[in-house]
Amino acid sequence: MRAMVLDRPGTRLREAELPAPEPGRGQVGVAVDACGVCRTDLHVVDGELPEPKLPLVPGHQVVGRVASTGGERFAGGERVGVPWLGWTCGECRYCLSGRENLCDRARFTGYQLDGGYAELVAADERYCFPVPEGYDDLQAAPLLCAGLIGYRALRLAGDPERLGLYGFGASAHIVTQVARHQGRRVFAFTRAGDNESQGFARGLGAEWAGDALGPPPEELDAAIIFAPVGDLVPAALTAVAKGGTVVCAGIHMSDIPSFPYELLWGERVLRSVANLTRRDGEEFMELAPRVPVRTEIETFPLAEANEALARLRAGRVRGAAVLQVRD
């Protein structure tokens, strides 16, 4: 199979022919149609996450069809999504308390397990999702992480009337639609002078869009930080009202500068969101077509995965980048 391979963090992916993975017991072999490009892929490729499997096929927003199966859950030809959470132990205190996203021994697709920047991927069928109808393969791919993690972050933000989103990329463009569907008011915070992202946010229903480090037009009840920028934490805490929650949704962030306790005082909550549970996936895949979430995507052929990553690194993707794996 054709694949894009990371040999060493900090280097470009290499186009390669690899042996097709054989699905083991309880796994499905998935013929990949599309794979979304996530900021987490960048953190893996750039060496910001420790100890990836090497060599590694990145990619954890996989949409494809079951080509072979060592399990019983899916039939051949069925469309499935393969997400970031690839395996959990089922026995640790986190797994046993409905928090498998925090499993001590969890393994993640496109990080410790080979992912979807390839024509075939083998995945544990228990962690795959049926993909909702009404989305083509390319449009569905960003639902698998940008959508899922965004949904979990939104849920953990509480029940805000006024929601701030910091960093307007793949996740925020989906969360905006879900939050509007829930009747929330959305405020989008972008890099200073990023008029294109601000216009994009307004077009999706944000009532205000402006610079992340500037003042918000009014107090927020909650904020979600998608950009991997620690400076945004004190900025968001400054923007939320008493009792408000700031959620850090990314897996990696630059250091958070020190800030006066006053910013946290007033029962403000600062928290992160880590990974996803299968329940998040089931809930979100059921919700997305009811909103309905429309994903805005930029597509790249599989062989141009390095270009897709470079554009994402430069903040030049509108919506979500997706690799078209099957021609």
Q: Which residue number, 66 or 103, has a Cβ lying nearer to Zn ion?
A: 103
Query: Which structure tokens are listed for 67?
Result: 């080509």
By the rule CB under 5 A, 103 interacts with Zn ion: yes
State how beta strands 85-87 and 107-108 pair: antiparallel
Q: Which residue number, 68 or 299, has a Cβ lying nearer to Zn ion?
A: 299
Q: Which residue number, 20 or 89, has a Cβ lying nearer to Zn ion?
A: 89
Least Cβ distance, residue 45 to Zn ion (angstroms)? 13
By the rule CB under 5 A, 102 interacts with Zn ion: no
Subset of residues 42 to 71 that bind Zn ion, contact rule: CB under 5 A: none
Distances (CA, A) of 320 to 35, 141, 172, 238: 11, 9, 10, 29
Question: What does the chain come to in residues?
Answer: 327
By the rule CB under 5 A, 101 interacts with Zn ion: no
State how beta strands 320-324 and 297-301 pair: parallel
Q: Which residue number, 115 or 244, has a Cβ lying nearer to Zn ion?
A: 115
Q: Which residue number, 95 or 128, has a Cβ lying nearer to Zn ion?
A: 95
Q: Which residue number, 41 or 221, has a Cβ lying nearer to Zn ion?
A: 41
What are the DSSP E strand ranges found in 96-239?
107-108, 120-124, 129-130, 162-166, 185-190, 208-211, 220-225
Helix (H, G, I), strand (E, B) or coil at 224: strand
Residues in a beta bridge with 165: 188, 224
| Cβ neighbours of residue 56 closer than 8 Å, sequence gap 6 or more | 5, 6, 44, 110, 111, 114, 115
Q: Which residue number, 145 or 320, has a Cβ lying nearer to Zn ion?
A: 145
Type and span of the H or E element at 30: strand 27-37
- Listed ranges 100-108, 202-210, 252-260, 316-324: which one lies at the site for Zn ion (CB under 5 A): 100-108
Q: 315 exposed, middle or buried (CB, 10 Å; 0-12, 13-18, 19+)?
A: middle
Q: Which residue number, 88 or 238, has a Cβ lying nearer to Zn ion?
A: 88
- Listed ranges 80-88, 118-126, 201-209, 234-242: which one lies at the site for Zn ion (CB under 5 A): 80-88
Query: Which structure tokens are listed for 273?
Result: 């969101």
By the rule CB under 5 A, 89 interacts with Zn ion: yes
> Given candidates 3, 62, 85, 95, which one binds Zn ion under the rule CB under 5 A?
95
> Given candidates 30, 35, 40, 276, which one binds Zn ion under the rule CB under 5 A?
40
> Given candidates 16, 92, 269, 274, which one binds Zn ion under the rule CB under 5 A?
92
By the rule CB under 5 A, 145 interacts with Zn ion: yes
Least Cβ distance, residue 152 to Zn ion (angstroms)? 11
Distance of alpha carbon 162 from alpha carbon 180, whole angstroms: 10
CB hemisphere CA count around 30 (13 angstroms): 35
Least Cβ distance, residue 252 to Zn ion (angstroms)? 11
Least Cβ distance, residue 95 to Zn ion (angstroms)? 3
Helix (H, G, I), strand (E, B) or coil at 188: strand
Least Cβ distance, residue 171 to Zn ion (angstroms)? 8
Distance of alpha carbon 131 from alpha carbon 182, whole angstroms: 22
Least Cβ distance, residue 110 to Zn ion (angstroms)? 8
By the rule CB under 5 A, 38 interacts with Zn ion: yes
- Listed ranges 95-103, 134-142, 162-170, 180-188: which one lies at the site for Zn ion (CB under 5 A): 95-103
Q: 290 exposed, middle or buried (CB, 10 Å; 0-12, 13-18, 19+)?
A: exposed
At position 174, the amino acid (one-letter code) is: I
- Listed ranges 141-149, 210-218, 241-249, 284-292: which one lies at the site for Zn ion (CB under 5 A): 141-149
Binding residues for Zn ion (CB under 5 A):
38, 40, 88-89, 92, 95, 103, 145
